Amino acid sequence: MYQCTLKSIFSTLHFSSYFYCIFFTYISAHLAFLCNIFTFSVFICPLSCVCKVKYLHSMKFRILTFVLFSTGAGESGKSTIVKQMKILHQGGYTKEEQLEFRAIIYGNILQSALAIIRGMEMLGIDFGASSGQVDSQKLQNLSDSIEEGTMPPELADVIMKLWKDSGVQAAFDRAAEYQLNDSAGYYLNEMDRICKADYMPTEQDVLRSRVKTTGIIEEQFSCKELHFRMFDVGGQRSERKKWIHCFEGVTCIIFCGALSAYDMVLVEDDEVNRMHESLHLFNSICNHRFFALTSIVLFLNKKDLFEEKIKKVHLSICFPDYDGPNTYDDASNYIKSQFLELNMKKGVKEIYSHLTCATDTKNVEIVFNAVTDIIIKENLKDCGLF
């Protein structure tokens, strides 16, 4: 009853359709709460992740489109977040689309195997087996002769044989000292399955595949009956100049920083620590005049890798001033504080931070629900209704 009454009242007023939608949503949600009639609800707490937003389908509201800008340094997990949006909000990947990732995954495996062999040479690690050197040369020869994106049986066999070598495993354990894809271990451990003739990539295989993002990639989807346009942009230095000027006035920036990158260097500059580069980029975006009024959500990603790494490598390798306990909670909180301290408008601009694992669909779903609530809250604020 109250919905109809409010609708008739507002129909006599000359508000813009956008203001009408936000205001009606706000008032109806609160009346619903007071009347214990949960027709739909808007949750303004950014930590809310259990409840759903349901708008009345009978209401002729204009569809609101929110523009999300996903950024961060290279290999921080931005593109994986975008893939998760397709899985969560666009029905996932078709069989045909999954098959298209097979060549990418084969390429990732080959490049990972070659990277580990190069890492062994750089670190002065010998093969454990006497046949290791011969197998290594065979790998190199095959990589030069096979069609790109294929995995013939002889190549699969030599990679699996090398992966079992103690010297290769020793080099893999020191992967932070050279450039190696985060998913190398996952794929190499799954070689028996991946190398079958009828191999169909799983969603997890797709999520872990790596292709360098160049230019600007867009995904559109709906969540909680709101329409989103999400843009994924290249994180390497050479890519940033292509996009920084394109996103003035976006609804929300999702900045991805890899927690596990604190002991790693950039692909494009082996003198620069990846965490330091991520902080530098965050500083430039957070305080940029283009984004003065833009909500920023900080995803401190790869928490699963960080949890394992922090047991072995002290955080002081990246932050010499850090003398706290080298535990997951203490170290991750310290890294988070380093990002949040860069915000030069703390009284005006709030940074919403989350620890994430971009390859964990459930974790991303929970976190993105929170992000959606943040966007609703900020839009109510903009209208003076919160």
Question: Residues marked as binding for GTP?
Answer: 75-80, 182-183, 207-213, 232-236, 301-304, 358
DSSP state of 4: H
**Cβ contact 302:357 at 8 Å:** yes
Q: Which of 3, 75, 274, 373 is catalytic?
A: 75
Catalytic residue among 232, 263, 307, 373: 232
User: What gap in Å lies between CA 10 and CA 7, rounded to an integer?
Assistant: 5
Residue 98: which residues within 8 A CB-CB, separation 6 or more? 200, 201, 202, 203, 206
Catalytic residue among 84, 135, 190, 210: 210
β-bridge pairing 252-258 and 226-233: unpaired
150 is catalytic: no
User: Which one, of 240, 350, 245, 253, lies nearest residue 299 by Cα?
Assistant: 253
Helix axes 132-145, 95-123, angle to 10 degrees: 140
Query: With the CA atoms of 21, 25, 31 and 34 taken in that order, what torsion angle do they form, in degrees rounded to the nearest 10?
Result: -170
**Residue-level length of the chain:** 386
> To which residue do tokens 């103690």 refer?
166
Question: Would you list which residues are annotated within the binding site for Mg(2+)?
Answer: 79, 213
Which residues fall in the annotated binding site?
75-80, 182-183, 207-213, 232-236, 301-304, 358
Is 75 designated active site?
Answer: yes
Residues 6+ apart with CB under 8 A from 359: 80, 204, 207, 208, 304
Residue 98 designated active-site: no
H/E element, 70: strand 65-72
- Single out the catalytic residue among 3, 71, 80, 356: 80
DSSP 208-273: H------SEEEEEEEETTEEEEEEEE--SHHHHTTTGGG-TT-SEEEEEEEGGGGG-B-SS-TTSB
Name the catalytic one among 236, 330, 350, 361: 236
- Positions marked catalytic: 75, 80, 210, 232, 236
